[in-house]
Structure 1
């Protein structure tokens, strides 16, 4: 069924005041579609970004038959279909359900699980957290209370290399070794047995929901809980808590570069975060495909010999590509709020820091960490990290911003 979304977001609170959510979360899903200027939008939660070869084909077919022929990869490794026509909701849901992409009608929007995409492929992680993700997803869908989580609540599972810990998880699991993990929630951490890690992550989400209900502010995310109502990871009692970790520090590592990941996997990026149906199909054959939070895909079962074909399909296959790390919001004509067609205006500059083009101050889909902010301004120009730049001068300005030494924002 198609459900409309409210046109105006909840206002931001005054500095120092707790955020109060006066209405329920209206984040889009596969069943709750969002109405945009270019048609309806569906967001598919893909725990760990994982797609089977069959699911890749179904997603490409759905984009062509029901949407605009493209698939957007989100900053959580999920997939979006745009340009969907009125009345296609039931047909889309049937296609997704048949392919195993809709395992729970009640929990489909809360299956936000980001995982180190190279886990189990290159031998660098402390544990194969992809296996944790599958168990967590099963437990999440089986818990009736978990349907009350916001569609923005995020589980992050890091295999110890620190590539996804900086993505702003509400509940974060970090593999320490094959037998141990650290569970992070609200600035605290406890050590748990690796076998209990998925169960502990789900229990931490329940601790958050209890804290949110007690606060009465309608919080969607852990960081929105008001002072005095924080979610305490020490309240996780459904799994074996070995010990609290004093002053926990999340590991920080770089994302995987485009190119080979171990002996039989390739990481490629989608230009500006969008794949045509043909580009999605070009990832096949594959043992599986893992969409990544950096708007790319890991092709499991592909060796370096596949690189020329993927490059010819228009995918970003090399770390020295100037388009690596360049992303953009939807922009005009798909978004009424946007001041510009940011995808048409985007230029890469030279390789360097990530750069994100935004059509309005919401900056939808911007990267985490340090990045170059290119914001459309009234009158046709842009602000590059706050400095006015005519559209015709974007290339040198973006190059300078991506390659110059940075100070903390």
Structure 2
């Protein structure tokens, strides 16, 4: 059994045939088909204290109702029934036992796998959860995203990319996660009535872009950037930020300009997105249609919740669900007349539907109940904190310094130092990591008192 990074032993799927399609996922030997990695995937089960973890990467965050049912059944039959929504719009199953091969086969049969075995690692493309249905979008990103995903999985050289190497395609939607850093980001903007794509490296769409390309060159840009990265990066330089430390952005841009036509972006810069659009009822471009958003508390679903949401998608929507970087889900294409009924049904499934609910604003990693590195039971402590807070506050509880649950810097971070004890940080642009240390070794009760006394405006500074 191959060894993953940091001493983690990963279990690989023993069969390379897709049950639904009847053809090999990959003809290459196991040793080259999948690289050892600490990151879970569909074909790589990574162990944790509460059992194995399998991560299912969803194309653009979307899943059909039938696929959601299959995933719920797999979690019930072959694991502990715990399903997690991730901050990259994916799903993962926890508590997998020795039936990992059967679990993977069932998910492959549902069409939830990659085109090739090696392609499972590199399907890291984030879209807006409202791609194609957001009133503010400048273009529907889904066709371009499909091209990019196909190339990521079929281009043999891209198998060399790190399992963490990620791309973001932003169509200008109002519902957009703009704080997660990506190795390459593309963001739609208008110039002289035409839609173009601004882009940047190792950052977020709200950063100052390096340049732009024509919309028709979006796919070619992604290919050019990834190939250039692989041409220049040494094996230990696995992320774009590592390469930029040695090869500054202007040098990379000059080399990129030799491969593809670049445009000046001028003074354009992406504006921050409004908050709270992932929960509740929100209009779509077509009159009379809405999407309805809800979130499992702290990102944890069970099979009943997932099946219930899938049933609502069939009955009132288009038979699909969309997962979001806020660890929530959307039921798209709902008639406005049915929205209140769908929202009420989601609430009855114990999903959160209001942005002013304190629990809906908290992020917590698995913590000591499932992770050997966790110093505190963050899920339990987050629920306790939510019950103590007089109003909703954005807080991230992390069991260790790795910050697995949050890809961005939260306004307030609690870093565990012992069971039930945390250091409190407030976001500070001048400080690295979590920000400025405000207080040390606090109980949850003390944290609640401090946060209640501090205004939200200062938290969001």
SS at match of 1:377: strand
Higher relative contact order (CA 8 A, sep 6+): 1
Q: TM-score, normalised by structure 1?
A: 0.87
Please say if residues 72 and 80 of structure 1, whose CA atoms lie closer than 8 Å, have aligned partners that are also in contact. Answer: yes
What does residue 261 of structure 1 align with? 282
Please say if residues 411 and 459 of structure 2, whose CA atoms lie closer than 8 Å, have aligned partners that are also in contact. Answer: no
- In structure 2, relative to structure 1, the CA distance for the partners of 1:276 and 1:99 (3 Å cut) is same
The separation in 2 between residues aligned to 1:338 and 1:85, in whole angstroms, is 21
SS at match of 2:292: strand
What's the CA shift for 1:382? 2.0
What does residue 229 of structure 1 align with? 247
Any idea what the Cα deviations from partners look like across 1:86-141, whole Å, max 9, x if unmatched?
Answer: 3x332222112211111321111110111111222131111111332222111211
- In structure 2, relative to structure 1, the CA distance for the partners of 1:144 and 1:316 (3 Å cut) is same
What does residue 199 of structure 2 align with? 183
Which residues of structure 1 form unaligned runs of 5+? 10-22
Among candidates 389, 393, 398, match of residue 358 of structure 1: 398
What does residue 13 of structure 1 align with? none
What's the CA shift for 1:358? 1.4
What does residue 289 of structure 1 align with? 321
What does residue 210 of structure 1 align with? 231
What's the CA shift for 1:174? 0.8
- In structure 2, relative to structure 1, the CA distance for the partners of 1:366 and 1:242 (3 Å cut) is closer
- In structure 2, relative to structure 1, the CA distance for the partners of 1:351 and 1:296 (3 Å cut) is farther
The separation in 2 between residues aligned to 1:253 and 1:219, in whole angstroms, is 32
What does residue 6 of structure 1 align with? 5
What does residue 377 of structure 2 align with? 341
What's the CA shift for 1:31? 1.1
Any idea what the Cα deviations from partners look like across 1:278-317, whole Å, max 9, x if unmatched?
Answer: 1111212322211111111111133522000101111111
What's the CA shift for 1:376? 1.8
Q: Does 1:144 align with 2:168?
A: no
Q: CA RMSD in A?
A: 2.6
What does residue 153 of structure 1 align with? 165
Please say if residues 138 and 195 of structure 2, whose CA atoms lie closer than 8 Å, have aligned partners that are also in contact. Answer: no
What does residue 375 of structure 1 align with? 415
What does residue 55 of structure 1 align with? 67
What does residue 251 of structure 1 align with? 271
- In structure 2, relative to structure 1, the CA distance for the partners of 1:258 and 1:105 (3 Å cut) is same
The separation in 1 between residues aligned to 2:354 and 2:119, in whole angstroms, is 37
The separation in 2 between residues aligned to 1:66 and 1:335, in whole angstroms, is 20
What's the CA shift for 1:172? 0.7
Which residues of structure 2 form unaligned runs of 5+? 9-34, 203-207, 284-288, 426-436
Q: Does 1:91 align with 2:102?
A: yes
What does residue 13 of structure 2 align with? none
Q: Does 1:278 align with 2:289?
A: no
Larger Rg: 2
More deviation, 261-270/390-399: 390-399
More deviation, 127-136/167-176: 127-136
What's the CA shift for 1:222? 0.8
Please say if residues 129 and 175 of structure 1, whose CA atoms lie closer than 8 Å, have aligned partners that are also in contact. Answer: no
The residue correspondences of 1:96-135 to structure 2 (distance < 5 A) are 96-103=107-114, 104-135=116-147
- The number of residue pairs the alignment matches comes to 390
Please say if residues 352 and 402 of structure 1, whose CA atoms lie closer than 8 Å, have aligned partners that are also in contact. Answer: no
What's the CA shift for 1:230? 4.4
More deviation, 381-390/61-70: 381-390
Any idea what the Cα deviations from partners look like across 1:156-181, whole Å, max 9, x if unmatched?
Answer: 11112473332101111111247422
Q: TM-score, normalised by structure 2?
A: 0.77
What's the CA shift for 1:54? 1.5
SS at match of 1:339: coil
Please say if residues 196 and 239 of structure 1, whose CA atoms lie closer than 8 Å, have aligned partners that are also in contact. Answer: no
- In structure 2, relative to structure 1, the CA distance for the partners of 1:101 and 1:240 (3 Å cut) is same
What's the CA shift for 1:397? 3.3
More deviation, 172-181/246-255: 246-255
- In structure 2, relative to structure 1, the CA distance for the partners of 1:394 and 1:171 (3 Å cut) is same
Q: Does 1:200 align with 2:233?
A: no
User: Which structure has greater helix proportion?
Assistant: 2
What does residue 405 of structure 1 align with? 458
Please say if residues 330 and 342 of structure 1, whose CA atoms lie closer than 8 Å, have aligned partners that are also in contact. Answer: yes
